[in-house]
Amino acid sequence: MSKGAETPVIKVLTLFPEMVRTVLETSIPGRAAKQDLVRYEVVDIRDFSVDKHRTVDDTAYGGGAGMIMMVPPVVEAVESVRKRDDATVILTTPQGATFDEVMTLDLLDDLQLKGELILICGHYKGIDERARELVVTREVSIGDYVLSGGELPALVIADALVRRIEGVLHNEDSAGNDSFTLARGGGLDCQWYTKPPEYRGLKVPDVLLSGHHGNIEKWRSDQAASRTRNRRPDLADPDEGIGSDT
Ligand code: 6GU
């Protein structure tokens, strides 16, 4: 982040604020906040209920199983934290676009440009369509399976973003060779070893103990390429694969 810019704020609207806070205080996301590289605001949607029972959901008009999140608490919770009219407001839902490395970098740009990013953790069967119309600007899924709530997806998105903020990762966190890093072709990482050099007859490959940095780098990039081809042919050849845009 450039000097003088304000600390970007990730705002998470949820029915389970303790769950969200606990994760954001832990590990790298927690360290990033302590270093003032990001801030988190966790909002309990229930605080914006409009009745004395703190109701935030109800049965669907027209019938059917499952509860629907009501429009007033969701809209009013967003309005209570949103600083800019053009803020990106993400709803986590299995019906959203699938989260990936490209979206991570796009949302990171957005967070840094606008200074805020709002994540609504979807719940129950869904949210009243009018809440989407009024405040949601983007719908994001983390994959083709159904989770009990939007907290884990929102935390996945927050974690992926925070670790890409400049200064968050230290050398020992070794970001440059992470899998999917577009700078290294968007493929998978190679295999890694540490001490001991032999365990139950399994040896660390000789090249890694050779001290020859050129050979080591070549071995690692060859291994990464063959892993990517074998495990994720869609990443190895994006024109042919399931991840293709065409
Ligand atoms: Cl964003 N929400 C829920 N409930 N389930 C999911 C998801 C989101 N992404 C994958 N599964």
Ligand 1 near 94 CB (within 6 A): yes
Contacts of 110 (CB under 8 A, 6+ apart): 88, 117
Ligand 1 near 146 CB (within 6 A): yes
Return the pLDDT at 180.
84
Question: Tokens 């703190």 correspond to what residue?
Answer: 54
Q: Report how far residue 77's alpha carbon sits from residue 118's, in angstroms, rounded to the nearest whole number.
A: 10
Ligand 1 center to residue 172 CA distance, Å?
32
Contacts of 59 (CB under 8 A, 6+ apart): 67, 68
Ligand 1 near 126 CB (within 6 A): no
- DSSP code at position 184: G
Residue 225, classified by CB atoms within 10 Å of its CB into exposed (0-12), middle (13-18) or buried (19+), is middle
Return the pLDDT at 243.
44
Bridge partners for 74 per DSSP: none
Ligand 1 center to residue 156 CA distance, Å?
11
Ligand 1 near 93 CB (within 6 A): yes
Ligand 1 near 143 CB (within 6 A): yes
Domains and CATH numbers, the chain: 9-162 (3.40.1280.10), 183-240 (1.10.1270.20)
DSSP H helical ranges for 120-205: 129-135, 151-162
Ligand 1 center to residue 103 CA distance, Å?
16
Tens-digit pLDDT profile for the chain (246 aa)? 444 579 999 999 999 999 999 999 999 999 999 999 999 999 999 999 989 999 999 999 999 989 999 999 999 999 999 999 999 999 999 999 999 999 999 999 999 999 999 999 998 689 999 999 999 999 999 999 999 999 999 999 999 999 999 999 997 776 667 888 776 678 999 999 999 999 999 999 999 999 999 999 999 999 999 999 999 999 987 665 444 444
Return the pLDDT at 227.
96
Which ligand 1 atom lies nearest to the CA of residue 140? Answer: 1
This prediction has a pTM of 0.90
Q: Report how far residue 67's alpha carbon sits from residue 53's, in angstroms, rounded to the nearest whole number.
A: 16
Separation of CA 23 from chain center: 13
Return the pLDDT at 65.
83
Which ligand 1 atom lies nearest to the CA of residue 154? Answer: 1
